[in-house]
Copies of this chain bind each other. A is one copy, B any other.
Amino acid sequence: MKKITLKAIAERAGVSVATVSRALNGRGPMDEATREQILRIAEELGYAPDMAARSLVLRRTENIGFLIHALQSLSPHTFYGEILTAVERELRRHRYHLHFATVEDETLPPLIKENRVDGLILAGCDLPPVLIRSLKERRIPLVLLDNHLLGIDSVFTDNVNGAFQATAHLIRLGHRRVAFIAETLDNLSFQERFEGYRQALEAHGLPFDPELVAEGERGFEGGFVAMNSLLDRARPTAVVAANDPTAASAMRAIRARGLRIPEDIAVVGFDDDPLAVHTDPPLTTMRVFRSKMAVLAVARLLDLIQNPEQPALHIRIETQLIVRQSCGSPLTPS
């Protein structure tokens, strides 16, 4: 089966390749009859332009790179999986394609230098800023997703305000000793959520007690570790977890000590991960709009590709409190 090229169509239609190219791309005035005939033949032969030839001459690939830190791939929550598929869906709608790549350090991934992509979506706040800066210097259009950095376009979740609301929810339910736990604070999102937690305490006139803050370790059981070390030294009546896996993990630590949720300790998570509905009791959490982030990031990136010289835009998306049973419902306070 030989490759179907412009030439093949040209021969069949008895015209030159340029005419075929013009007909297919709709450039310049043309005789409607011949255009239709060419389109018909192209359809018949199942023609599709060779991407290599096309991008060689057009200097663009219609590929977008989706970059994520390799760390995240290990992370078992589906956060970036959902974002990835949402980004792909949106790109497909615009006839773009998605290159998926992970980076482990600060070295430039090969797809950049090799001109494999027209732009980049950098997902997550674990990508080293040094890498981001050096990508920016190469003047590749790029958008940060779920991350932000001065001078670079970004679409991200309002973590500070989200954590504020989560904490305020607990305070409204009457809690006075509210703890904060995270797998790690070596992560911008979690730091911001921590900040939101502190602001909420302050706004409600509650003292900040460092004893009520615990860090665990990276990985799925980070929340378990954090919660245990916290319970070893203090006894909060409520816990704000930096994300849902951490919360779920912490819930296991709480129950392992014979404490009840939410009666003894209320728990609120963050992200509205699918697992939130499966914990026992189902987890109250802050919903994060992954697919909305994806759509906005793609739109921004495509705009940036068309028109590169623009001031950086920072799009912040608010979160939404999803009340389940892990804090006691507002109707039946714990």
Contact = CB atoms under 8 A, between A and B. Distances in A.
A98 interface: yes
B99 A100 contact: yes
A88 B114 contact: no
A241 to B, nearest CB: 13
Q: Tell which of A80, A86, A95, A280 has the most Cβ of chain B within 10 Å.
A: A280
Contacts of A110: 48, 95, 97
A252 B280 contact: yes
Contacts of A249: 278
A249 B282 CA distance: 11
Contacts of A245: 278
A97 B102 contact: no
A279 interface: yes
Contacts of A76: 78, 82, 274-275
B56 A50 contact: yes
Contacts of A102: 85, 88-89, 92
A66 interface: yes
B277 A220 contact: yes
Given A52-B56, A88-B102, A220 B274 contact: yes
Interface in A211-270: 220-221, 245, 248-249, 251-252, 255
Interface in A81-97: 81-82, 84-86, 88-89, 92, 95, 97
Contacts of A92: 101-102
A2 interface: no
Contacts of A221: 277
A220 B78 CA distance: 13
A61 interface: yes
Nearest to A46: B113
A139 interface: yes
Contact of A100 (B73, B80, B88): B88
A70 interface: yes
A35 interface: no
A76 B100 CA distance: 19
A77 B274 CA distance: 8
Contacts of A101: 88, 92, 97-98
B97 A52 contact: no
A37 interface: no
Contact of A248 (B78, B89, B278): B278
Contacts of A19: none
Interface of A: 1, 46, 48-53, 55-56, 61, 63, 66, 70, 73-74, 76-78, 80-82, 84-86, 88-89, 92, 95, 97-102, 110-111, 113-116, 138-139, 220-221, 245, 248-249, 251-252, 255, 274-275, 277-280
Q: Which 8 A-B pairs have the closest CB atoms?
A: A73-B85, A76-B274, A48-B113, A81-B81, A52-B56, A100-B100, A51-B114, A52-B55
